[in-house]
Chain A
Amino acid sequence: MNLNDLIAIDELCIRYKVELTFIRSLSESGLIEMIILEQKEYLHCDKITEFEKMHRLYHDLNINLEGLEAIQHLLKKLKELQESNLQLLNRLNLYE
């Protein structure tokens, strides 16, 4: 794993002005995946978009962790449905 791709959690706390407990709660709920290296917690930079989304929903829209979990689940389902819909639309071209 490339260390340059990892962002230390305490750095995130400073940048996003959030408590460490908030990030840990996201991780415990399975909403983001934390990486622990030599007892230090990190977030992979590819996951930062997901973290920012959770942060916006939590802080801007006042959605609590349980709500975030439900939203995450529904968004996953929506994504699957959108992909399936796209495949069907592409398939529909066969009959036009």
Chain B
Amino acid sequence: MEFIDYYKILELDKSASQANIKKAYRKLARKYHPDLNPNDKSAQARFQQINEANEVLSDPEKRKKYDKHGKGWEHAEQFEHAQRQQQQQYGRGFGGGRQQSYSGNFDNDTFSDFFEQMFGGGARSKGTGRSPQYKGQDFNAELQLNLSDVYTSKKHTLTVNRKNIRITIPAGVENRQTIKIKGHGGLGIQGGPNGDLLITFNIVNDTKFKREKENLYTTADVDFYTAILGGEITIDTFTGKVKLKVKPETQPATQIKLKGKGFPKYKKEGQFGDLYITYQIKMPTNLTTREKELFEELQKLRS
């Protein structure tokens, strides 16, 4: 566990006054508040650091302890224990004041191990000076799924706060799409509505197809002679093989569309996108003398 420089976090020097600490905190809180930086995990982490730094530096008792031990904080507990014993003799306990810290319905609303170690788990001023909450906390979760898993709607069982929730993930969900499961977040406070569970999907492509929304893209090899003379090839679609007629004189990189053979449209049952196939013409190699002669003959016919 590393020492945390709270002065550096609030961009202050050690002699900063309480007014300067408050000013610096407010300025940085406005910059990094998660409500103003949606979907920005780095801003959220920075905001938590700022809150923690303020919790310590704006509380004279905590600041005194922090300043006294500094980088030697690991020995602070032993030192404080001895001091507490001494103070108890005079009927005084060691405790921090309650300071204002900004609130929010944010995940990971916790302080660092460094803070917990130095000031103890109960040292936070949670609940005082913070915006009151009525609705339960929203929970954010990430779920990794394979592309092939989201071709059909499937039921999944998730464990949230030791409770199993059975949800149906609709076919066609997109990479990084977030769905809301209403009421499955934190419990409402004093009869308030429960928070929601927000699930963001990370879709890993485990197929040879490329996907953009409901359309799929792939390539198919066509041998030179079939491309010139026409013929038939077999290609893979998401649901199986299909035979395709190749027109004579097909050019390289020709793209054809198989209507309705793409990916399911999100929340539109029975509707599918298209599959786009790009032909890659494979040129013959290792020509024999006879083949070369025939190609030369063809070339003469064309010139």
CB-based nearest B residue for A91: B212
Additional pairs, 10, CB under 8 Å, beyond known A60-B33, A61-B30, A61-B102:
A15-B189, A15-B192, A17-B132, A46-B182, A48-B135, A49-B138, A49-B196, A56-B35, A56-B104, A56-B131
Size class of the B contact interface (CB-based, 8 Å): 20 to 34
Give Cα A87 to B135, complex, Å.
Answer: 32
Chain A 67-96, CB within 8 Å of chain B: the 1/0 string?
000010001001100100011011101100
A26 on the B face (CB < 8 A): no
A94 touches B212 (CB 8 A): yes
Give Cα A7 to B33, complex, Å.
Answer: 27
A20 on the B face (CB < 8 A): no
B103 touches A60 (CB 8 A): yes
CB-based nearest A residue for B102: A60
B272 on the A face (CB < 8 A): no
Q: Which residues from chain A contact B205 at a C-beta distance below 8 Å?
A: 93
Residue among A7, A17, A49, A86 making CB contact with B176, cutoff 8 Å: A86
Chain B 206-219, CB within 8 Å of chain A: the 1/0 string?
00001111000100
B38 touches A59 (CB 8 A): no
Those 7 A-B pairs whose CB atoms lie nearest each other, nearest first: A15-B134, A45-B193, A60-B102, A48-B135, A94-B210, A53-B35, A56-B131
Give Cα A40 to B190, complex, Å.
Answer: 22
A65 on the B face (CB < 8 A): no
Q: Which residues from chain B contact A79 at a C-beta distance below 8 Å?
A: 38
B29 on the A face (CB < 8 A): yes
Give Cα A79 to B270, complex, Å.
Answer: 30
Residue among A12, A45, A59, A62 making CB contact with B131, cutoff 8 Å: A59
Q: Which residues from chain A contact B102 at a C-beta distance below 8 Å?
A: 56, 60-61
B135 touches A55 (CB 8 A): no
A90 touches B175 (CB 8 A): yes
Give Cα A59 to B104, complex, Å.
Answer: 12
Give Cα A51 to B213, complex, Å.
Answer: 33
B133 on the A face (CB < 8 A): yes
A57 on the B face (CB < 8 A): yes
Q: Known contacts A12-B134, A57-B35, A71-B36; is A52 also within 8 Å of B105 by CB?
A: yes
Q: Which residues from chain A contact B192 at a C-beta distance below 8 Å?
A: 15, 48
